[in-house]
């Protein structure tokens, strides 16, 4: 491992063939301890003392095989850092580390795509097992990362979207895509680009909800060397990278008021400057924006600039939720069955009438994304019984929704966090979060504990202990 500088930033010899882990933690002691633990076991270690440096290290081309990421860090914390990493480098597995595991934080990081969550002080065997599992998961993800068609089914309500799309295909006007989470806004944005006169140019996506203020400004417009702490070299922004093509501003409703003003200037004048620079650059990219929020209501409430709203709202695509597009279910199900069978190298199953009837009645709060995830579960486990059981009990997993009992526990602990010792709050929160996750996986596997341990990324012995700690028992026991 290279020398750990005062800034907590080290890079190993890039020619090494050893599996490589990046440790992002503001504690010098933790970084040293992990290096002493992992290097003798054949791992190469890079370290960064904060989220910004960790992101910079990955952006510099030093992409690791696995990332160990501390939750509690100054400035850019672990959750915000995870958002950036998952947006830019979804192929790299991330394991979260934390002294106190709050249930809400655990749930949030797992929903964002963290591979695992390990509490400090960590059990060395458990951490090593999680790292090895993450390494295998990363290898599988790399092997399966080939292009998979995401062509939407252009019928029913989406047929109207397609007609409008074709009408504006040869124009360069800004477009706004509205719809709930999971309806397929990005797919429509890519189709707008593919059907346009700019189709040969780049399609560049920016998630405006994934980055805080200064980082999002740098991401959009770039920065000059020395523009802020950690700006070690000039960086091109997404507008510059999207020259001649389309820039897709996802979750535009989350953008700060300051950045809204700067974006308005770009749309009005077609020019901008890098952060910390004076050179005026021309913006030659079509802007397509999307949000799940009601921008008109945000304008009334003062949360979004009216002039920017009018600039973006030249052409609007409204994508209805899946519950209003039930005629599309048969074709969507066929599409996802074919896609999942191909991606996971499983036989394409024929769904039973019972499951199809449940799909017909299910409200799909997670929309098309939820339907695809349910189909994936059927294909991967080569069984539809767990999905049928979940839907029959009204527990189909929508976007970010959990059982009412678990939500009640979270609310209770938030309300009493100042009245009981923090350690006790953290311990109970972690147990409740683990109980929910383990219960769901055991249900999916029909209480096959060996298979559940593999899916959870823990050893069989560890899972048995956690089942006992959480008080879980098989159905009918």
* DSSP H or E segment with residue 307: helix 306-312
Domain boundaries in the chain?
Answer: 9-143, 157-318, 325-392, 404-470
The Cα 253–Cα 248 span in angstroms is 13
What integer pLDDT is reported at residue 302 of this predicted model?
92
The Cα 404–Cα 464 span in angstroms is 26
What integer pLDDT is reported at residue 304 of this predicted model?
95
DSSP secondary structure code for residue 352 in this structure: P
In CATH, 404-470 is 1.10.10.60: yes
What integer pLDDT is reported at residue 415 of this predicted model?
52
Count other Cβ atoms within 10 Å, centred on residue 322.
25
- What is the β-pairing status of strands 246-250 and 116-119? unpaired
Which top CATH class is 157-318? alpha beta
What integer pLDDT is reported at residue 412 of this predicted model?
52
What integer pLDDT is reported at residue 425 of this predicted model?
46
CATH architecture of residue range(s) 325-392: Orthogonal Bundle (1.10)
What integer pLDDT is reported at residue 403 of this predicted model?
42
Count other Cβ atoms within 10 Å, centred on residue 346.
16
Closest CA to 27 of 146, 93, 120: 120
Which residues, including other chains, have CB under 8 Å from residue 235's CB and lie 6 or more apart?
218, 222, 223, 274
CATH placement of domain 9-143: 3.40.50.2300
Rg for the chain, CA atoms, rounded? 24
pLDDT digits (tens, 9 = 90+) for 356-375: 988 988 888 888 888 988 89
What integer pLDDT is reported at residue 124 of this predicted model?
80
The Cα 443–Cα 223 span in angstroms is 49
CA distances from 389 to 2, 172, 359, 453 (A): 52, 49, 12, 21
Q: Residues of the chain whose pLDDT is less than 50? A: 1-9, 11-16, 142-150, 395-410, 413-414, 417-418, 420-426
Count other Cβ atoms within 10 Å, centred on residue 251.
18
Which residues, including other chains, have CB under 8 Å from residue 123's CB and lie 6 or more apart?
none
Tell me the CA end-to-end span of the chain in Å, nearest whole number: 51
- What is the β-pairing status of strands 203-207 and 246-250? parallel
The Cα 34–Cα 28 span in angstroms is 10
Asked whether the domain spanning 157-318 has the same topology as the one spanning 9-143, the reply is yes
The pTM assigned to this predicted structure is 0.54
What integer pLDDT is reported at residue 139 of this predicted model?
58
Closest CA to 94 of 107, 79, 104, 105: 79
The Cα 78–Cα 72 span in angstroms is 6
pLDDT digits (tens, 9 = 90+) for 387-411: 887 787 664 343 333 444 444 444 5
């Amino acid at each position: 491992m290279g020398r750990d500088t005062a800034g907590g930033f080290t890079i190993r010899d890039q020619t090494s063939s050893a599996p490589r882990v990046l440790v992002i933690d503001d504690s010098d002691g933790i970084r040293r301890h992990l290096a002493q633990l992992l290097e003798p076991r054949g791992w190469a270690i890079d370290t960064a003392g904060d989220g910004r440096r960790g992101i910079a290290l990955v952006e510099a081309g030093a992409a690791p095989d696995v990332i160990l990421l501390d939750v509690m860090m100054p400035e850019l914390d672990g959750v915000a850092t995870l958002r950036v990493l998952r947006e830019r480098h979804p192929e790299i597995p991330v394991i979260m580390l934390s002294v106190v595991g709050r249930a809400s934080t655990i749930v949030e990081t797992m929903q964002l795509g963290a591979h695992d969550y390990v509490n400090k002080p960590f059990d060395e065997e458990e951490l090593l097992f999680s790292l090895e599992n993450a390494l295998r998961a990363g290898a599988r993800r790399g092997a399966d990362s080939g292009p998979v068609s995401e062509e939407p089914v252009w019928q029913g309500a989406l047929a109207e979207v397609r007609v409008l799309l074709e009408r504006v295909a040869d124009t360069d006007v800004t477009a706004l895509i509205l719809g709930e989470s999971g309806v397929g806004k990005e797919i429509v944005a890519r189709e707008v680009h593919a059907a346009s006169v700019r189709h040969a140019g780049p399609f560049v996506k920016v998630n405006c909800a994934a980055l805080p203020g200064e980082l999002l400004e740098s991401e959009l417009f770039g920065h000059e060397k020395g523009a802020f702490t950690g700006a070690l070299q000039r960086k091109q922004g997404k507008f510059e990278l999207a020259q001649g093509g389309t820039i897709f501003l996802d979750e535009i409703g989350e953008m700060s008021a300051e950045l809204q003003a700067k974006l308005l200037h770009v749309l009005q004048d077609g020019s901008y400057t890098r952060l910390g620079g004076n050179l005026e650059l021309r913006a030659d990219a079509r802007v397509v924006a999307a949000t799940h929020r009601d921008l008109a209501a945000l304008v009334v409430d003062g949360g979004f600039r009216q002039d920017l709203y009018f600039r973006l709202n030249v052409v609007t695509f409204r994508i209805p939720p899946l519950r209003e597009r039930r005629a599309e279910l048969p074709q969507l199900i066929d599409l996802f069955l074919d896609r999942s069978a191909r991606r996971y190298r499983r036989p394409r199953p024929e769904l039973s009438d019972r499951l199809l009837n449940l799909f017909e009645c299910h409200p799909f709060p997670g929309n098309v994304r939820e339907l695809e995830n349910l189909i994936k579960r059927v294909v991967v486990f080569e069984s539809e019984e767990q999905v049928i059981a979940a839907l029959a009990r009204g527990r189909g997993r929508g976007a970010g929704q959990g059982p009412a009992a678990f939500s009640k526990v979270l609310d209770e602990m938030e309300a009493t966090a100042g009245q009981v010792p923090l350690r006790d709050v953290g311990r109970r929160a972690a147990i409740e979060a683990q109980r929910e996750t383990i219960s769901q996986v055991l249900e999916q596997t029909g209480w096959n504990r060996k298979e559940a341990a593999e899916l959870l990324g823990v050893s069989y012995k560890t899972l048995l202990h956690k089942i006992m700690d959480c008080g879980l028992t098989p159905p009918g026991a």
